């Protein structure tokens, strides 16, 4: 069934179709609509879940952690300051191997107060052991929430589904809502091997000496590596019943491309339009969308980019003191690769500044005229300061 | 002979508490009262160590170690999951120290109490951050030495019972391991009530109180007898009941003997001691006023 809905409501539908059993959340713009709709689903009985109206995001994730260890499928959603407040428990959920799914609506970190999009909130959590998916459309949002649970519950790691503030969260699009019966078949009830259980009387999360801890952390890395393979498999399986899949990355019109733009989130849609126009004019240019950021699908990225001459990575984030975070990841992926395109880094759209087809064209024009990349960061759409 | 304390042991003989730890005994008694259908939520506190490192556990029930400030929120989550999974006969027991309750965990606890989430929260209060080496908490009494109040603490102890009672939770009580029958009765009573139940248990930490371990039980008994830590229960935030046995008014001699036995009060001057006695007396009167208030409610 197709319905017009916002990205936020696509998240709510995704959590409902996944039959989340415990939801704990706290209001924050631009996420709030997600949990408003979920509380309505709970009220009407469309979703049989316990909704804990907590007093902070820290408690939201703590309650999800409690629910998860007691054997329930748990869901939460947040944004920016809320995500940062959760940080301690973001580690806790991953180290405790809890398959929680969380939606993060990308919003610029304060101060100054901002409710508009950039990726610094979620990218600050990149080394915590959460899988991260960056969505381009509302359809992708609903589908990724469902896929997220399947992946999370197999590898026992939490999953963060990320969408841009307003550009996606508050923008309505036609969304095909998967049939519940089919989702149920794809995503059976959560049956954890270990949980708080009167018959097992285990102690979870005890003090762990140096004798054991290294292996525990290593196993998270191992699970991360495996989740690349798993996410591919789950994505294919998802296609069998829905007709849709996304890949971990998506090369778009990259055949024989000399220049490839790399994007994530909604900038991808804008860039697609630019690429279509340029291709029409005969330019050898393509686009690579990064959907999965953690674990980073480095090998796929290399294969998608190694044949082109120039790569322009577009970051809607700043790794202060380094540059664009996506750009760093891609450079590092190519570090030990014999064939390597010139990699240019562009930062744009910070704090929710519009990224239009003209912004993308500005990047294309710049990358066209430079043949050799250096480590200088280029800013697009930045006003002159002095 | 009739045993008033349940024979059932839900704690293993081995654990890592210091000699004379009132907190270890408190858990033993609590699990006797609550039985095997209990799940423990343990934020950072002495019990994080007492229960043993991986792969050990000192209790015979499932236990979840959690972050310092999350006893309230994690317990809410566990209870919600058990409910939705149809396991409604399990008692969730949050077990936190004074730091995790009075200080860092107060926000999550207050929120859970406001929602009246269905679990028992026991604060075993040894009046400082003992696990990290005796730093003051807001539960440390006025005049006490700690490693961060090297002279003496200059602020009075926070009244956590007043705070919890103000939430109008169905049941709040003070308890002491020095009165095991009363302690067990309160835990059992709490078990039969739905909603947020709060138990404030003063326990002796010989290491932090700087006293010999063999007087641990005696000291917390003195705390009750002297009027420093009165035993009472509050139903629905309104109905106060003073429990026996204890003095009918604070006792100067007993207070002095309580303070005198502990190295943490060694720096008190006579003037300081007099202030402490006066404060205890005024707190006692405040409590009596609340009990008097019961009569007004009945009318």
CATH number, domain of A72, equals 3.40.50.970
The domain tally of chain A equals 2
Domain interval for residue A88: 2-242
Q: What is the pLDDT of residue B293?
A: 79
User: What is the pLDDT tens value at each position of chain A, 386 positions in all?
Assistant: 899 999 999 999 999 999 999 999 999 999 999 999 999 999 999 999 999 999 999 999 999 999 999 999 999 999 999 999 999 999 999 999 999 999 999 999 999 999 999 999 999 999 999 999 999 999 999 999 999 999 999 999 999 999 999 999 999 999 999 999 999 999 999 999 899 999 989 999 999 999 999 999 999 999 999 999 999 999 999 999 999 999 999 999 999 999 999 999 999 999 999 999 999 999 999 999 999 999 999 999 999 999 999 999 999 999 999 999 999 999 999 999 999 999 999 999 999 999 999 999 999 999 999 999 988 999 999 999 98
A79 and A205 inside one domain: yes
Query: β-strand B171-176 against B232-235: which pairing, if any?
Result: antiparallel
Looking at the fold, whether A165 and A187 belong to one and the same domain comes out as yes
pLDDT at B246 over 90: no
Check CB contact under 8 Å for B57 and A206: yes
CB atoms within 10 A of CB A255: 9
Has residue A84 been placed in a domain? yes
Residue A356 lies in a domain: yes
Domains present along chain B, CATH in parentheses: 22-298 (3.40.50.970)
Sheet holding A203-204, edge to edge: A203-204, B63-66, B38-43, B91-97, B119-125, B196-202, B171-176, B232-235, B239-242
Q: What is the per-residue pLDDT for B104? A: 98
Same domain, residue pair A7 and A143: yes
Contact B62 A54 (CB under 8 A): no
**Residues of A with CB below 8 A from B49's CB?**
207
Q: Residue B111 burial (CB < 10 Å; 0-12/13-18/19+)?
A: buried
The answer to whether A206 faces chain B, any CB pair under 8 Å, is: yes
Q: Which residues of A touch B69 (CB under 8 A)?
A: 58
Q: Quick check: is A327 in a domain?
A: yes
A198 touches chain B (CB under 8 A): yes
CB contact under 8 A, B64 and A69: yes
Within 10 angstroms of residue A383's Cβ, the number of other Cβ atoms is: 6
Domain assignment present for residue A184? The answer is yes
Closest to A205 (Cβ–Cβ): which among B56, B64, B111? B64
Whether residues A96 and A220 share a domain: the answer is yes
Between positions 4 and 23 of A, the ones with CB within 8 A of B are: 21-22
Question: Are A123 and A254 part of one and the same domain?
Answer: no
Residue that finishes a domain, picked among A214, A242, A270: A242
Strand partners, A27: none
The band of B298, judged by pLDDT with boundaries at 50, 70 and 90, is very low
A253 and A373 in a single domain? The answer is yes
Tell me, yes or no, whether A276 lies in a domain: yes
Query: Are residue A32 and residue A167 in the same domain, yes or no?
Result: yes
What stretch of H or E contains B94? Answer: strand B91-97
Between strands A310-315 and A259-263, the pairing is parallel
Residues A182 and A153 occupy one common structural domain: yes
Residue finishing a domain among A193, A215, A242: A242
**Would you say residue A205 lies in a domain?**
yes
Judgement on whether residues A197 and A271 belong to the same structural domain of the protein: no
Q: What is the pLDDT of residue B250?
A: 86
Same domain (yes/no): A280, A186: no
**Selected residue of B74, B91, B113 to mutate for chain A interface (largest A Cβ count, 10 A):** B74
Distance (Å) from the alpha carbon of A129 to chain B's nearest alpha carbon: 17
Nearest CA among A147, A158, A137 for reference residue A183: A147
Which residues is A287 bridged to in the sheet? Answer: A252, A261
Partner residue facing A62 (CB), from B51, B52, B67: B67
Which A-chain residues 212-241 have CB contacts (< 8 A) with chain B? Answer: 212
A66 contacts chain B (CB < 8 A): yes
Please indicate, yes or no, whether residues A168 and A232 belong to a single structural domain of this protein.
yes
| Of residues A48, A59, A66, nearest to B111 (C-beta) | A59
Residue A295: which residues within 8 A CB-CB, separation 6 or more? A131, A224, A225, A227, A228
With an 8 Å Cβ cutoff, are A196 and B62 in contact?
yes
CA-based nearest distance A341→chain B, Å: 46
Q: A52 and chain B: CB distance < 8 Å anywhere?
A: yes
Which of A21, A88, A205 is facing B65, going by the closest CB pair?
A205
Does residue A59 belong to the interface with chain B, where contact is any CB pair within 8 Å? yes
Residues of chain A positioned with their CB less than 8 A from the CB of B90: 198
Q: Which residues of B touch A62 (CB under 8 A)?
A: 66-67, 70, 73-74, 77, 108
Q: Verify that A17 and A96 share a domain, yes or no.
A: yes
Mean local confidence (pLDDT), B265-277: 97
The answer to whether residue A385 sits within a structural domain is no
* Per-residue pLDDT reduced to its tens digit, B7-47: 999 999 899 999 999 999 999 999 999 999 999 999 999 99
**Which of chain A's residues have a Cβ under 8 Å away from the Cβ of B71?**
none
**A386 within domain boundaries:** no
- Contact status of B66 with chain A (Cβ, < 8 Å): yes
Instruction: For residue B195, give the DSSP letter.
Output: S
Which residues does chain B have within 8 Å of residue A56's beta carbon, measured at their own beta carbons? 107-108, 111
Domain closes at, from A202, A226, A242 = A242
Please, are residues A338 and A95 in contact by the beta-carbon 8 Å criterion?
A: no
Residue in this structure with the two tokens 């839900």, named with its chain if needed? B10
Q: What is the Cα Rg of chain A in Å?
A: 21
Q: Chain B residue with minimal CA distance to A194? A: B62
3-state secondary structure of B200: strand
Residues in B touching A42 (Cβ below 8 Å):
none
Are residues B117 and A49, on separate chains, in Cβ contact within 8 Å?
A: no
What pLDDT, on a 0 to 100 scale, did the predictor assign at position B299?
Answer: 40
């Amino acid at each position: 069934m197709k319905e017009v809905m916002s990205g936020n409501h696509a998240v709510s539908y995704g959590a409902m179709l996944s039959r989340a059993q415990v939801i704990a959340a706290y209001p924050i713009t631009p996420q709030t609509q997600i949990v408003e709709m979920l509380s309505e689903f709970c009220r009407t009985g469309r979703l049989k879940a316990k909704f804990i109206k907590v007093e902070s995001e820290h408690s939201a994730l703590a309650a999800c952690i409690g629910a998860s260890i007691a054997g329930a499928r748990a869901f939460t959603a947040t944004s920016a300051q809320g995500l940062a407040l959760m940080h301690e428990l973001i580690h806790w959920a991953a180290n405790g191997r809890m398959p929680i799914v969380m939606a993060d609506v990308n919003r610029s970190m304060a101060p100054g107060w901002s409710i508009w999009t950039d990726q610094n909130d979620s990218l600050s959590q990149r080394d915590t052991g959460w899988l991260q998916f960056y969505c381009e459309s509302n359809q992708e949002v609903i589908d990724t929430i469902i896929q997220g649970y399947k992946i999370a519950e197999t590898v026992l790691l939490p999953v963060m589904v990320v969408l841009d503030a307003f550009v996606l969260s508050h923008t309505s699009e036609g969304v095909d809502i998967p049939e519940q019966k089919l989702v149920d078949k794809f995503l059976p009830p959560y049956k954890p091997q270990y949980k708080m259980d009167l018959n097992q009387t285990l102690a979870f999360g005890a003090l762990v000496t140096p004798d054991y801890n290294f292996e525990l952390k290593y196993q998270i890395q191992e699970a991360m590596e495996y989740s690349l393979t798993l996410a591919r498999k789950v994505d294919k399986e998802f296609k069998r019943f829905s007709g849709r899949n996304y890949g971990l990355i998506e090369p778009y019109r990259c055949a024989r491309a000399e220049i490839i733009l790399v994007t994530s989130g909604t900038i991808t849609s804008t860039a697609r339009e630019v690429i279509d126009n340029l291709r029409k004019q005969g330019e050898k240019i393509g686009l690579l969308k990064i959907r999965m950021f953690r674990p980073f699908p480095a090998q796929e990225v290399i294969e998608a980019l190694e044949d082109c001459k120039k790569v322009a990575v577009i970051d809607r984030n700043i790794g202060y003191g380094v540059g664009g975070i996506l750009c760093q990841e891609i450079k590092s992926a190519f570090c030990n690769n014999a064939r390597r395109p010139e990699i240019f880094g562009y930062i744009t759209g910070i704090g929710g500044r519009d990224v239009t087809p003209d912004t993308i064209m500005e990047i294309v024009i710049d990358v066209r005229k430079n043949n050799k990349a250096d480590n200088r960061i280029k800013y697009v759409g930045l006003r002159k300061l002095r | 002979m009739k045993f008033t304390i349940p024979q059932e042991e839900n704690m293993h003989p081995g654990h890592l508490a210091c000699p004379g730890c009132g907190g270890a005994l408190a858990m033993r008694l609590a699990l006797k009262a609550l039985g095997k259908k209990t799940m423990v939520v343990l934020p950072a506190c002495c019990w994080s160590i007492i229960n043993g490192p991986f792969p050990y556990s000192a209790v015979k029930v499932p236990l979840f170690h959690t972050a310092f400030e999350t006893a309230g929120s994690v317990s809410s989550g566990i209870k919600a999951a058990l409910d939705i999974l149809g396991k409604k006969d399990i008692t969730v027991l949050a077990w936190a120290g004074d730091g995790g309750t009075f200080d860092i965990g107060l926000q999550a606890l207050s929120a859970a109490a406001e929602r009246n989430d269905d679990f028992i929260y026991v604060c075993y209060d040894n009046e400082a951050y003992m696990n990290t080496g005796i730093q003051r908490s807001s539960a440390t009494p006025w005049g006490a030495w700690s490693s961060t109040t090297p002279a003496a603490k200059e602020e009075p102890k926070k009244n956590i019972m007043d705070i919890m009672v103000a939430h109008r939770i169905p049941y709040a009580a003070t308890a002491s391991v020095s009165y095991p029958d009363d302690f067990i009765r309160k835990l059992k009573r709490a078990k039969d009530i739905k909603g947020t139940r709060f138990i404030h248990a003063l326990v002796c930490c010989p290491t932090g109180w700087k006293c010999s371990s063999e007087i641990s039980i005696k000291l917390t008994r003195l705390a009750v007898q002297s009027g420093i830590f009165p035993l009472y229960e509050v139903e629905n935030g309104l109905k106060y009941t003073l429990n026996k046995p204890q003095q009918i008014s604070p006792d100067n001699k007993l207070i002095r003997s309580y303070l005198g036995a502990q190295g943490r009060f060694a720096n008190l001057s006579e003037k300081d001691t007099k202030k402490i006695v006066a404060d205890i007396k005024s707190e006692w009167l405040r409590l009596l006023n609340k009990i008097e208030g019961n009569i007004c409610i009945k009318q």
